[in-house]
Amino acid sequence: MGDILMPMLHLRARMNLLFASGPAPLEVDFKLTAGSLTGLCGPSGSGKTTLLRILAGLTVPDSGMMRVGDRIWLDTAQKIQVPTQQRKVGMVFQDAALFPNMTVRQNVEFAAESRRDSLVDELLALVDLENLADRKPATLSGGQRQRVALIRALARRPEVLLLDEPFSALDYETREQLLGELVRLHRQFGTTTVLVSHHQEEIQRVADNILELKQGKVTNFGSPYTAEKESLNPVTGIVNEVNVRETTTQLQIRLTSPIITVNVPSDTKEWHIGEAIAVSIDPQTLTRKAD
Amino acid sequence: MTDFDWQPLLLTFRLATTTTLLLLLVGIPLAGWLAFTRFRFKPVIEAVISLPLVLPPSVLGFYFLLAFSPTGFLGEQLLAWFDLRLLFTFEGLVVASIFYSLPFMVHPVQAGLENLPASLREASYTLGKSRRETFFRVLLPNIKPSLLTGLVLSFAHTIGEFGLVLMIGGNLPGQTRVASVAIYDEVELLHYGAANAYALLLLVISFGILLTVYAINKRWVIF
């Protein structure tokens, strides 16, 4: 599936919303490249979820246009509104929204084209959920639930994958683990993805693009580096220059730039040498020592 | 006890079963529509459905009497087109009972649907499922306790009908003489033994039904 060229997405929308500070329009106009992972961030109440819902067709903007590949999903001027059911979107909700009456496998099968779809087993295996396939969602942990929600969305074979703060209610360790799995699945399936998160640092590590919203307006759109650039201190500026994003696991990973070199120690017990990984340094965690 | 007859009890349960089954067909789609519609006049519809909760059954019975009578608008049309009489017949009792017990089916089911997280419905839509498929495969299976409550309350409420039956059904053995009417009738004739038999059976059966529902609902914890 990874080699299918995924469509580019173009959304232009305007919608009057009520923010904490009063009514203001949500106004966006952006294009996403095929197969990209875009991090959608911004303070709470900035319109992130509304934007995601517009992409999914769950909310209709006052005016706007949306194109995915060569198809129009929305054009208010021409009164075109493709219903959610007919958009090939996969959506992961904050509360996972698993169907309590179905088992893990039935939840995933519900999204697949048929019960015998081999993708169901493939996805269950990919996130290590084969053993829990016959369990009901109520018996799963928060992290397991979000894993099921993620593969259920992928079982739909979506053209656009939308994730609405899927890991926000999880503890740090589980969140890190799931983020890693998301990156892995994104690489494997190559689905154009939009990830909403209020953890800026989280988005910086995994996203190709950052789309920052504030009071319904896009205040920043571009690579994670440029989005962060203006607020950087000298240390984080240097680190960002050397921040590599993809490599393979080795005994020690060396990130080099003309300015500095950083050695990242790797725990070889956890890693298999030669495996593809993404590495980055969180600039906020570094301090500058006196010479 | 010599006047005791099983017929009124059997008729009561036939009426309650028929009414409940028809209410399932009418009440569930209606509850589903009310739970999710943005129709402007939804409060009007809700008020009409809830009327039997507050109106004396005799008021309802009186208007049914007018409507169902062979000279009334509805009665005349039904007679002319379908040769159907609703006054003093079992069919008439079923139709009236559906209206009378409608809120007992609609309210629990509507509340159950409204209490489900919206994300369940929306997740199903994003997975490409139609409204109908979402309703039957995702929403209804997750409100089993509400469905059971609606089912049993409708059944029990129909068993308890009295005033309405008396107004439009009368007291025809095998046709409209249900247990509640039989009790009244036996007391009027000072047949306390027979009245007590009907009353005690209704009491025990109704209690048994309600107890079963509460016991089952306690076990059904889905979230």
- Taking 90 as the threshold, does the pLDDT of residue A20 lie above it? no
- Structure tokens, B26: 């009418």
Q: What is the mean pLDDT of residues A194-215?
A: 87
Q: Which residues of A touch B127 (CB under 8 A)?
A: 90, 110-111, 152-153, 156
pLDDT of residue A238: 44
Higher pLDDT residue, A266 or A82?
Answer: A82
Tokens representing A166 are 């899927």
CA distance B110 to B147: 9
Residue whose structure tokens are 């009491």: B203
Cα–Cα distance, B119 to A58 (Å, whole number): 10
Q: Which residues of B fall within a CB distance of 8 Å from A157? A: none
Q: Which of A229, A245, A270 is the last residue of a domain?
A: A229
User: Same domain for A180 and A271?
Assistant: no
Residue A291 falls within a domain, yes or no? Answer: no
Cross-chain residue pair A110–B129, CB shorter than 8 Å: yes
**Residue B1 placed within a domain:** no
Gyration radius of chain A over CA positions: 20
pLDDT in tens, A60-77: 999 999 999 889 999 999
Tens of pLDDT, residues B57-98 = 999 999 999 998 888 888 888 888 888 888 899 999 999 999
Spatial separation of the C-alpha atoms in residues B68 and B76, rounded to whole Å: 8
Residue A251: pLDDT band (50, 70, 90) is low
Percent of chain A predicted with pLDDT > 70: 75
Question: What is the spatial distance between Cα B182 and Cα B205, in angstroms, rounded to a whole number?
Answer: 16
The DSSP result for A247-260, as a single string, is EE--SEEEEE-SS-
The residue out of A229, A247, A273 marking a domain boundary is: A229
Residue-wise pLDDT for A267-286, tens only, equals 555 556 566 666 666 555 55
Return the pLDDT at A291: 47
Helix, strand or coil for residue B207?
helix
In this structure, is residue B223 part of a structural domain?
no
Give domain status of residue A30, yes or no: yes
Provide the residue range defining the domain that includes B159.
7-217
Question: Are the C-beta atoms of A46 and A215 separated by less than 8 Å?
Answer: yes
Give yes or no for a contact between A226 and A207, defined as CB atoms under 8 angstroms apart. no
**Chain B interface, Cβ < 8 Å to A:** 117, 119-120, 122-130, 137-138, 141-142, 222-223
Q: What is the dihedral sign for C-alpha B132, B138, B141, B142?
A: negative
pLDDT of residue B16: 95
Residue A122 has pLDDT above 50, yes or no: yes
Residues A241 and A223 in one domain: no
Quick one: A170 and A249 in the same domain? no
Phi/psi of residue A125, nearest 5 degrees: -70, -40
User: Is the pLDDT reported for residue B138 higher than 50?
Assistant: yes
Residue B37, in any domain of the structure: yes
Residue A173: how many other CB atoms lie within 10 Å? 9
Q: Is residue B222 part of a domain?
A: no
CATH code (residue B64): 1.10.3720.10
Q: State how many domains chain B has.
A: 1
How far B139 CA sits from the closest chain A CA (Å)?
9
Question: Which among B126, B129, B142 is the nearest to A100, CB-wise?
Answer: B142
Judgement on whether residues A155 and A206 belong to the same structural domain of the protein: yes
Does residue A290 sit within a domain? no
Residue A146 with chain B: CB contacts under 8 Å: none
DSSP structure class, residue B134: I
Residues A258 and A158 in one domain: no
- Residue B119 is nearest to which of A93, A101, A138, comparing CB atoms? A93
Closest-CA residue in chain A for B131? A85
Does residue B69 lie within any of the structural domains? Answer: yes
Residue A141 lies in a domain: yes
Q: Which domain CATH number covers A80?
A: 3.40.50.300
Total domain count, chain A: 2
What's the average model confidence in pLDDT over A120-136? 94
Residue A13 belongs to a domain: yes
ipTM of the complex: 0.83
C-alpha to C-alpha distance for B156 and B183, rounded to whole angstroms: 17
Please choose, from the candidates A167, A176, A179, A188, the residue with its C-alpha nearest in 3D space to the C-alpha of residue A125. Answer: A188
- DSSP code at position A198: S
d(CA B51, CA B109): 17
Interchain CB distance below 8 Å, B128 and A111: yes
Q: Hey, are the CB atoms on B126 and A156 less than 8 Å from each other?
A: yes
Answer yes or no: do A134 and A249 share one domain: no
Q: Which has the minimum average pLDDT: A128-132, A188-192, B4-8, B29-33?
A: B4-8
Find tokens 């005016």 and name the residue: A63
Count Cβ atoms below 10 Å from residue A54 Cβ, excluding itself: 22
Tell me, yes or no, whether A155 and A177 share the same domain: yes
Examine residue A192 and state whether it is found in any structural domain, yes or no.
Answer: yes
* Nearest residue on chain A to B125, alpha-carbon basis: A85
Per-residue burial over A245-277, b = 16 or more CB atoms within 10 Å of its CB, e = otherwise? eeeebeeebebeeeeeebeeebeeeeeeeeeeb
Considering the domain boundaries, does residue A3 fall inside one? no
What the block records as the tokens of A279 is 């590495």
Domain check: are A263 and A156 in the same one?
no
Place of tokens 């997280």: B117
What are the CA-CA distances from residue A263 to residues A69, A202, A232, A244, A251 (Å)? 42, 21, 22, 12, 10
Instruction: Report the pLDDT value the prediction gives residue A240, as an integer from 0 to 100.
Output: 45
Task: Provide the domain limits for residue A206.
Answer: 9-229
Which of A184, A210, A229 is where one domain is finished?
A229
Length of chain A: 291
Query: How far B137 CA lies from chain A's nearest CA (Å)?
Result: 9
- Residues of B in Cβ contact (< 8 Å) with A156: 126-128
Query: Scanning every residue of chain B, which has its alpha carbon at the shortest distance from the alpha carbon of A155?
Result: B127
Crossing angle for the helix pair A118-126 and A172-189, to the nearest 10 degrees: 140
Q: Which one is predicted more confidently, A253 or B151?
A: B151
Say if residue A93 is in the same domain as residue A192.
yes
- With cut-offs at 50, 70 and 90, classify the pLDDT of residue A133: very high
Kindly determine whether residue B126 and residue A101, on different chains, have CB atoms separated by under 8 Å. no
What residue in B sits closest to A59 (Cα-Cα)?
B122
Distance of CA B190 to the CA centre of its chain: 31
